[in-house]
Amino acid sequence: MIRVHWSVLTTALAAAPAYADYQLNLPLPKSGIAREIYDLHTLILVVCAVIFVLVFGAMFYALLKHRKSLGHAAHNFHENTLVEVIWTLIPFAILVGMAWPATRLIIAQKWTADPDLTIKVTGYQWKWNYEYLGEGVKFMSSLATPQDQIEGRAEKGEHYLREVDQPLVVPVGRKVRILATSMDVIHSWWVPELGVKQDAIPGFIRDTWFKADTPGIYRGQCAELCGRGHAYMPIVVEVKNESDYAAWLNDRKQKLAAAGADLGKTFSKPELMARGEQVFTANCAACHGPEGKGVPGAFPALDGSKVVNGPVKDHLHRVMFGKEGTAMAAFGKQLSAADIAAVVTFERNSWSNRTNDVIQPAAVVAAGK
């Protein structure tokens, strides 16, 4: 017996240009679990549509064919045991019929045993940290949409608010286990095409999994309202074949080794300023503004700030450990020592700030002790 998935039929329809431009259904599935979700959604939609047609069809037929103008009189009847049993058993059977595949699918979504790769995902306001357990690879993924597009000064790109500087990279056809947690508020890691969604809750580690069928780039979003920057917290998963993934993983390890070597390096001021501007744009501009003006009543200005223009140790402490009770995150666990040194140097020497201080990675390491 040949089984035809609803998703296969929809894929055929998706070839039509009109469908590609005006899609009303779920995204086309790119993993086994996503296909099962898609098929269950379609099945329940069909069941609900059939119930709608039968119930409202019978009701409208009775209204039209048995109305008073045609000579029909109302009947007075009650307590028909057979009818009551029927209209109780049929909905019960329908609910059980829908609950069975739904329960089986939920169990399959939670079956995280025997993964080929385990990645810890940590949510921050408003970015994601990815740690490849057992591989020594760890990096932060932030929104890459230019600030000019967000503020309406430039034309919006194809993937507006759905692009990141560093995507999560995984191999095709491998079971990837996701360990989700959060450092501040509740977030939710959601990539619909891969059929994966898991809340990231502070103080807890929740797990889920996915296995992509084909190489490609799949986009998602934080699906939990997590504060002012909720809309600026996209997810991008890049699925590569085995050889490309191995090459990417090796490259990441080499870059991390180079970052470790930065700890003993002395950078020039221009090097720190250029690197600091990049770090600031990716991590700080969303709240403090590209010109360091902040948002009155919400986020303080860095231009002319007492902290930025005060003692270096206080500025480093604020960047590394954040400020309790505010949206100021602790970047000590998110950024490297060289990145923190660069962004602090940039902030202390930009806009109207002219401290002429040059911070080196060694000073950041010393401040964190």
* CATH number (domain holding residue 241): 2.60.40.420
Is 1 a domain residue?
A: no
The pLDDT of residue 22 is 55
Q: Could you tell me which residues are beta bridge partners of residue 158?
A: none
Same structural domain, 226 and 195: yes
* CATH number (domain holding residue 27): 1.10.287.90
Q: What is the number of domains present in the chain? A: 3
SS3 118: strand
SS3 189: strand
**Residue (of 252, 267, 276) closest to 348 by Cα position:** 276
Same structural domain, 124 and 95: no
Is 206 a domain residue?
A: yes
Same structural domain, 142 and 250: yes
Is 56 a domain residue?
A: yes
Among residues 212, 227, 260, which one ends one of the domains?
260
Is 36 a domain residue?
A: yes
Q: What is the pLDDT along the chain (369 residues), one digit of tens a residue?
A: 334 455 444 444 444 444 445 567 888 899 999 999 999 999 999 999 999 999 999 999 988 888 888 888 877 777 888 888 988 999 999 999 999 999 999 999 999 999 999 999 999 988 999 999 999 898 889 899 888 888 888 899 899 999 999 999 999 999 999 999 998 899 999 999 999 999 999 999 999 999 999 999 999 999 999 988 899 999 999 999 999 999 999 998 888 877 776 777 888 999 999 998 988 988 888 788 889 898 888 889 999 999 999 999 999 989 888 887 777 878 887 788 888 999 999 999 999 999 999 999 888 888 875
The pLDDT of residue 359 is 92
Helix axes 6-14, 32-65, angle to 10 degrees: 90
The pLDDT of residue 20 is 45
**Residue (of 127, 139, 128) closest to 251 by Cα position:** 139
Same structural domain, 271 and 253: no
Same structural domain, 169 and 122: yes
**Residue (of 165, 169, 164, 166) closest to 117 by Cα position:** 169
Pairing of β 187-191 and β 216-222: antiparallel
3-state secondary structure string across 221-284: EECCCCCCCHHHCEEEEEEECHHHHHHHHHHHHHHHHHHHHHHHCCCCHHHHHHHHHHHHHHHC
Range of the domain at 283: 265-367
The pLDDT of residue 13 is 45
Question: What's the rounded Cα separation, in Å, for the pair 65 and 145?
Answer: 61
The pLDDT of residue 216 is 95
Is 303 a domain residue?
A: yes
**Is 113 within 8 Å of 315 (Cβ atoms)?**
no
Helix axes 81-109, 32-65, angle to 10 degrees: 160
The pLDDT of residue 36 is 94
Among residues 260, 294, 319, which one ends one of the domains?
260
Q: Could you tell me which residues are beta bridge partners of residue 237?
A: 168, 218
